[in-house]
Amino acid sequence: MAEKAESKDSGVLVIGLGRFGSAMAATLEKLGREVLAVEKDPALVQQWSTRLPLVEADATNPEALEQLGAEEFPVAVVGVGTSLEASVLITGNLVDMEVPQIWAKAISAEHGRILRRIGATHVVYPEYDAGQRVAHMVSGKMLDYIEMEDGFTIVKMRPPRETHGFTLGQSKVRERYGITVIGVKPPGEPFEYATEDTLVGADDLLIVSGDTNLLERFAHRP
């Protein structure tokens, strides 16, 4: 067992190094966050030991988490999803240790409800979210898709043909479709915030926001 890290004020404890957990840990490292990963599978430990600060331990055991100093982390991510029992036990252990933020992976709505009931502050559904996001991208001109709350969505997309060669004021996108073009990025040029005088080219990328259904209609324009 590794010794406790000296400072965890901005650290993130990532438990489970499957596809979700390893992607989280590696990305957090790239973003400059202090990360400590916990994994009990020796094969995964060996795979990631040279790339991440890593401890081999069974996080379903509260004593193991205590030895790691889990209660000192402001954020913990439970990336274990395939074993419902392990996911619930680990989340419960972190709740008992009063970790302020607990992000837990769920593989079903029922799993998510259980995690919330025992105290997870955030529940994520990576497979469902990824499938929903890709479905929207496949169905039209959308290149990226982020759904916020209450039906509000932000997308990156190619401009419909009717906007090519016109300014946003001329094409009246907001008035006609009820959505807002936040910015435009021409090929090889920096992103610029959109105004009424912003000219849209055929090869530009648009960042657009608005109601999900309205955006879908706009993205399906030829």
Q: What is the pLDDT of residues 197-220, one digit of tens each?
A: 999 999 999 999 999 889 888 988
Mean pLDDT across the chain: 88
16 with 109, same domain: the answer is: yes
18 with 120, same domain: the answer is: yes
120 with 135, same domain: the answer is: no
Supply 200's token pair.
């849209």
Indicate if the alpha-carbon torsion angle 130, 136, 141, 146 is positive or negative. Answer: negative
26 with 95, same domain: the answer is: yes
Q: For the domain that residue 175 is a member of, what is the CATH number?
A: 3.30.70.1450
- The predicted model scores a pTM of 0.67
Burial of 65 (0-12, 13-18, 19+ CB in 10 A): buried
176 with 115, same domain: the answer is: no
40-62 pLDDT tens trace: 999 999 999 999 999 999 999 99
Q: Confidence class of residue 139 from pLDDT cuts 50, 70 and 90?
A: low
Nearest CA among 75, 60, 57 for reference residue 3 = 57
Residue 129: predicted pLDDT: 72
Last residue of a domain, one of 89, 109, 124: 124
Asked if the model's pLDDT at residue 3 lies above 80, the reply is: no
119 with 156, same domain: the answer is: no
Q: What is the mean pLDDT of residues 75-84?
A: 90
Q: Confidence class of residue 4 from pLDDT cuts 50, 70 and 90?
A: very low
139 with 85, same domain: the answer is: no
65 with 119, same domain: the answer is: yes
Alpha helices per DSSP H over the chain: 19-30, 42-48, 62-68, 84-96, 109-118, 126-138, 168-171, 173-177, 212-219
Residue 1: predicted pLDDT: 43
Identify whether 181 is part of a domain.
yes
143 with 196, same domain: the answer is: yes
98 with 48, same domain: the answer is: yes
Residue 61: which domain range?
12-124
Residue 7: predicted pLDDT: 44
49 Cβ contact partners less than 8 Å away, ≥ 6 residues apart: none
The answer to whether 7 touches 72, Cβ cutoff 8 Å, is: no
